[in-house]
Amino acid sequence: MADAATIANTMTVAVGPVILMGPPGAGKGTQAKRIMARYGVPQISTGDILREHVRKVTELGCKARSYMDRGQLVPDDLVCDMVAERLSRPDCKRGFVLDGFPRTVAQAEWLDQYLEGKLFENNGLKRIPLVVIKINVSYNSLLRRLAGRRSCPTCGRIYNVYFQPPRVADLCDVDGSLLTTRRDDCEEVVSERLKEYEQETLPVVEYYRAKGQLHEIDGERPMEAVTAEALGIIENGNRL
Ligand code: AP5
């Protein structure tokens, strides 16, 4: 159940646009869910949305699947159209947390254009600057995190057999579903995902650094410590 501080924040804080960046396994999804719980703004995970399209065998899912299975990025035009549709929904009016987007400089430029002049609501309309948070984690930790990751196909909760195991092995604490391993968490696909990150997404980090919008945090610490620092950055960013 939400505590009083959470409810107060959910009611009054306009969060604006937040981007979580970092390599595969850095903890973007984990932290996005915590930020969402804190402020009541949606997590927009392009990976989750694409996986849902693949599962439902939609036209987009059929186009995206071969890229995802190889650990490569899905083409920009497909992803940007998908994000535009999601951001146009009413639940994004107070803000949103982007997890896994943008991942190329072209996507970042598209997002800047999309956000130009956008206002966010909290008892009035406010221009809130974009906050970009990059979670830094060492290569060896990433490999261990991805190898140990399990997720609930029903509620989306993320576990880790090494760092955050479920109470009963292989079963979700929340709804008892059998936990699953992501198809792209096998060794060869992980190495391709890391390569794509270095080639395509590190330039996006530099794009935001040059604009003075980048905050970096140490993601090697316990999840709670990472969350506390991210929330501090978001709340300070909103006061700018
Ligand atoms: P996507 O789903 O976005 O995958 P990713 O970026 O590779 O990131 P992950 O979801 O693997 O990791 P995460 O950082 O969210 O870590 P998590 O919180 O789960 O993308 C998948 C594919 O979709 C791409 O390869 C591409 O094909 C396509 N795609 C998606 N977006 C796209 C885009 N914009 N453009 C083009 N293509 C796109 O944590 C990992 C594990 O670590 C968990 O088990 C967790 O419990 C554990 N953990 C987390 N934090 C900690 C901590 N502090 N200490 C210990 N363990 C921790």
Q: Is 182 within the bounds of a domain?
A: yes
Residues 6+ apart with CB under 8 A from 87: 44, 96, 114
Global pTM reads 0.93
Distance (Å) from CA 192 to ligand 1 centroid: 14
C-beta 166 within 6 A of ligand 1 = no
Q: What is the pLDDT of residues 133-158, one digit of tens each?
A: 999 999 999 999 999 999 999 999 99
Is residue 16 a part of any domain in this protein? yes
Q: Whose CA is nearest to atom 57 of ligand 1?
A: 27
Q: Mutate which of 44, 149, 195 to test ligand 1's pocket (most atoms within 8 Å of Cβ)?
A: 149
Q: What domain count does the chain have?
A: 1
- What is the 28 CA–ligand 1 centroid distance (Å)? 6
Query: Atom of ligand 1 at shortest distance to CA of 148?
Result: 44
Residue identifier of the C-alpha nearest atom 20 of ligand 1 = 47
- Separation in Å, CA 20 to CA 26, 62, 94, 181: 10, 27, 17, 22
Residue 227's domain spans which residues? Answer: 4-41+94-233
Q: Is 34 left (phi over 0), alpha (psi -120 to 50) or beta?
A: alpha
The phi, psi pair for 166, rounded to 5°, reads -70, 160
Q: Indicate if ligand 1 lies below 6 Å from the C-beta of 74.
A: yes
Q: Is residue 73 part of a domain?
A: no
Identity of the amino acid at 16: G
Token digits for 65? 């699947």
Q: Is residue 70 part of a domain?
A: no
Q: Is residue 26 part of a domain?
A: yes
Q: What is the pLDDT of residue 5?
A: 52
Is residue 14 domain-resident? yes
pLDDT digits (tens, 9 = 90+) for 73-105: 999 999 999 999 999 999 999 999 999 999 999
What is the CATH number for 114?
3.40.50.300
For residues 15-40, average pLDDT? 95
Question: Does the pLDDT of residue 18 top 80, yes or no?
Answer: yes
Is residue 159 in some structural domain?
yes
Separation of 34 CA from ligand 1 center, angstroms? Answer: 15
23 within a domain of the structure (yes/no): yes
Tell me, using a 6 A CB cutoff, whether residue 79 lines ligand 1: yes
- The answer to whether 153 touches 140, Cβ cutoff 8 Å, is no
Question: Any idea which residues carry the catalytic annotation?
Answer: 28, 103, 149, 182, 193
According to DSSP, the residues that pair with 18 across neighbouring strands are: 97, 131
- Distance from residue 140's CA to the centre of ligand 1 (Å): 15
